[in-house]
Amino acid sequence: MKKVVKFGGSSLASAQQFKKVGEIIHADKERKYVVPSAPGKRFSNDTKVTDMLYGCYRLAEAGKDFKKELAAIEARYQEIIDGLALTLTLTEEFKVIEKDFKAKAGENYAASRGEFLNGKIMAAYLGYEFIDAAEVIRFKENGDFDSEVTNQILKERLDGVERAVIPGFYGAYENGVVKTFSRGGSDITGSIVARAIKADVYENWTDVSGILVADPRIIDNPEPIDIVTYRELRELSYMGFSVLHEDAIFPVRREGIPINIRNTNKPEDEGTWIVESTCQKSKYVITGIAGKKGFCSVNIEKEQMNSEVGFGRKVLQAFEDYGISFEHTPSGIDTMTVFVHQDEFMHKEQKVVSAIHRLADPDSIDIEADLALIAVVGRGMKSTRGTAGRIFSALSHANVNVKMIDQGSSELNIIIGVTNEDFEAAIKAIYDIFVLIRL
């Protein structure tokens, strides 16, 4: 068997954490390919190395002196090296970074150095081969990840390599210019490597024992999820679940490779398994609850809208023309509502309203702000009657007014719109009715 193991920033924030990671890797000879993140926070008021690099580079870009800030970053890594009693030195690497910062190599390059340097330390600590992600992770000219080219390059590069460390979060264009994924992108790198080597398992190690049914900042000690499908997690990640980057699912999904979310500080915990499909029933009717605040609804009314061919397309074109993506579009006979991110929409709202009038000639348009969307997700909902009814009943008892409900044809999820101020109360009510009461 072959396992790819990815470790997050909190798992690699200090030499003590590195030692825990080393023990985990050496405890299973099948853990052959390691994807490290940059060092995270060592304590609550600490600063992540990636943020330190961003700040340092902005000084360099502005033509200001940044040696003090760069020295502080070097000291963070030296602390880890000393704590591991390694003979490794990163002096030359930091000379190159200083030179590249002065040459204004870009924020993507600056941010990537956190993983690059931690990868160097990890490889030296484990005695594994170091492979620079810029050599094997490829991006297209338009900035999109090139999955097929990357897969071919990685397969060829790792052929015959028994054990390796590949830093997460970044890759490069064909010309060698470094490009990063979005925040949390090391999860994606681990998934890419797992696909390339056709791993049996992709283990993603972090600071929690798997995925929880709901946000622990809202629900006290929420129940863990034992097993979740790719599709369920995709829905939950999109609506705010932050344990795993939402795009990390795609590479492994193609090969049917399961992901196991594990806790570096509690390696004995089984964690959460993310799989393509399963015959195992969920512990509850729902698998998870997730949501986001900060939406607004644009309500368009027009008599006999339902019989007008192309009406919906005309309305959505107004949003597209101003570069605004929509979240949901529930509709009635004479009404259509478009949910959008408020911060994207508010500065262009009157231009969009004018465009809708020009393109679709509606009777009226009404905008409602400060809304939240909540996703209730679960493969068990399809075979359980009355799920939507229980949700409405729970929200009614909690005095939460539902602004919108939208259920996909797959019956995998139900999206509910509420006001921002009702957001936490709604999640608590839904959690209580499905998890605590378990009718």
Strand partners, 288: 377
Q: How far is CA 119 from CA 74, 178, 239, 296, in A?
A: 14, 16, 31, 43
DSSP annotation of 29 reads: T
Number of domains in the chain: 2
Q: Which of 275, 298, 320 is the last residue of a domain?
A: 275
Same structural domain, 33 and 66? yes
Query: Is 282 within the bounds of a domain?
Result: no
Q: Which pLDDT score, from 0 to 100, does residue 410 have?
A: 65
* CATH code (residue 304): 3.30.2130.10
Q: What is the pTM of this model?
A: 0.86
Query: Is 394 within the bounds of a domain?
Result: yes
First to last CA, the chain: 42
Which structural domain range is residue 137 located in?
3-275
Instruction: Pull the structure tokens for residue 239.
Output: 């609506």
Gap between the Cα atoms of 403 and 424, Å rounded: 15
Give the HSE-up count for residue 215: Cα atoms under 13 Å, Cβ half-sphere. 20
Using a 10 angstrom Cβ sphere, with 0-12 exposed, 13-18 middle and 19 or more buried, the burial of residue 55 is: middle
8 Å CB contact between 90 and 81: yes
Q: Which pLDDT score, from 0 to 100, does residue 439 have?
A: 46
CB atoms within 10 A of CB 283: 16
Instruction: Pull the structure tokens for residue 268.
Output: 């004995």
Same structural domain, 208 and 309? no
Q: Which pLDDT score, from 0 to 100, does residue 348 have?
A: 96
Same structural domain, 117 and 247? yes
User: Nearest to residue 338, comparing CAs of 312, 357, 306?
Assistant: 312
User: Nearest to residue 98, comparing CAs of 74, 116, 80, 115?
Assistant: 74
* CATH code (residue 98): 3.40.1160.10
Q: Which of 275, 309, 334 is the last residue of a domain?
A: 275
Averages of pLDDT over runs of 10 residues in the chain (439 residues) are 95 96 96 97 95 97 96 97 97 97 96 98 98 98 96 96 97 97 92 97 92 92 92 84 83 93 94 90 88 95 91 95 92 92 95 96 96 92 82 93 81 90 96 82
Q: How far is CA 52 from CA 43, 72, 122, 202, in A?
A: 15, 9, 20, 29
Q: Which pLDDT score, from 0 to 100, does residue 284 have?
A: 87
Q: Which pLDDT score, from 0 to 100, does residue 245 have?
A: 85
Same structural domain, 271 and 303? no
Using a 10 angstrom Cβ sphere, with 0-12 exposed, 13-18 middle and 19 or more buried, the burial of residue 141 is: exposed
